[in-house]
Structure 1
Amino acid sequence: MQQEYTIEELLELRESGKYALVDVRSPKEFQEASIPGAINIPVFSNEERSEIGTLYKQESPEAAKQRGLEIFSDKLPRFINDFQKLNKPVAVFCWRGGMRSKTATTVLDLMGVKAGRLKGGIRSYRQYVVKTMESYNLKSDLIVLNGYTGTGKTKLLHQLLDKGYPVIDLEQMAGHRGSIFGQIGLLPNNQKKFDSLLLQDLEKYKDKKHIIIEGESKRIGKVVLPEFFYSKKESGTQFFLHLPIDVRVANIMEDYKPEESPEQFLEAFQFIKRNIHSPIANEIQKLLEGKQFPKAIALLLEYYYDSRYEHAITQSEGETVHIHAESMEDAFQQLRSNLKNIKF
């Protein structure tokens, strides 16, 4: 009889590090959302899954199963080899804990690979995430790194993370930088994937008194922050960064690389153009068309983004600490100095 794991048992196996979690769904399904920490060894490719689904609907379940068996048989040696290279027991899962995970665990067992499967598939994991988030008690207070666009908040977050501070990178989880230009060069995540990644980090830091995040609006690209988290963010201590305009422009050029996607930047600008005084908006348009990005960015900061941030900071309920720095290194040193008296 095949070994079945509940979602709680599966997560314990993941945390032990002694088991590999393997998503046997197609690469497209895996990319849309999976269990954090899992790897993808698909039974079927995206195209094969589509072909089998079409057969199921248009002909019969039997025809679909027959075609699935033919496809899987051809790739069986490579499939088993991929699992053997993991060199540890595995826990596999598909969508509902059905045919794909059952087939995978059966053939792996025959080849001497210790394998169990998630009862109910990833659907049971999604139900677990939703239920947990609905009643989540976030005991940690949030320290919010805020500041005008281009102050390198994400870079500073990662520097703090490297120094051992508890940091949650919301933009990385969302696959979006949080602005109208925020998804350029990135692959935005959906709510399912975002919730899974956020819950994983919340559990990792559940015993910390403080967690450091970047100041974000309630919506980041395609995803929305859960209410309990957003409320904590609003009441958290705010560290507001001030940096010279030339440093901010340089940060944006390095992060966004507009010269690699000029058409996308011009297209995104159209969504905010009407909110900028017409003569300035037309000048920005010409600069973007002429690929004079530093000048265009400087005008966007002065006439659009800075005024929006000034409004946002006045809405904060928590204490605000202003950090005036001349460089990124200066900002980091001042930030660490201010964090010394905070217990994590």
Structure 2
Amino acid sequence: MQIVLAPMQGVVDHLMRDMLSTIGGFDLCVTEFVRVVNTKLPDKVFYRLCPELKDGGYTSNKTKVKVQLLGQDPEYLAINALTAIRLGSHGVDLNFGCPAKTVNKSKGGAVLLQYPEQLYRIVKAVREAVPAEHEVTAKIRLGFEDTHLAIENAQAIESAGASSLVVHARTKKDGYKPPAYWDWIAKIRQHTTLPIIANGEIWSAQDAENCIVQSDTPHIMLGRGALALPNLANTIRYGEQAYNWEQVKSLLVKYSGYEIYSEKGLYYPNRIKQWFSYLKLQYPEASEMFVELRRMRDARDIVNLLKH
């Protein structure tokens, strides 16, 4: 089994990656996407989104980190993929799954699922540019409006030379509404030899077991579920008991405390509030505390609240 931490834009930053990988259970983290248009990006863009590159591409507990790229131009994605590899990324991931309207309007993310030939050109260009010892992977949804191109898209990505494929088991139109159609991943697997990682609606160890059976793959990617239950990966891999609220509060104190030493203004208090939107799904105490916390604008106040 491989368990991967998902690249959740605007949520799973380097601090969250460090915290969740330190708790344990993950084999790999994927960054928030680096947006590629028609330019070669400077190194500082990669370092900003993936500070782990300065430490060999590892989190503090030596979990590998892979840079994700999002764009539509094969040539410039290939050029920037080389930069990511040069700086220390453990392979490169290509985002063909982001459902955000602003991303799709600029012809990035899930909108590309309507064009298998473009997926092929992008993956092929990046694969040919990146040295063979480094993985080139991709993340897709089942489709844009529907699933009629799901198998063709996966085959295009395989033919272009991808190392593996993450499939989020919903279409762009589905968004994040349950359920996830894990059985569709099994259908894709019947038509490709690519290693496939299943993603979507895994909130518990039981969900993971059901997903693995229905998708016919032992590999999973965790996103929102890992934010709602911080030790979810360990409950799946090792049968660990789910964290109680006191354990979660200790994590929140650690995460909030970064703001005290930061020059980023209100950045981390806002991230804490984002995190609470997921924690509320697992912990009733989070809902109660959020009523008070959402008005706070200083990390010190947040830390004091969490300590009580």
Task: Identify, as 1 or 2, the structure richer in helix.
Answer: 1
TM-score by length of 1: 0.27
User: TM-score, normalization: structure 2?
Assistant: 0.29
Structure (1 or 2) with the larger CA radius of gyration: 1
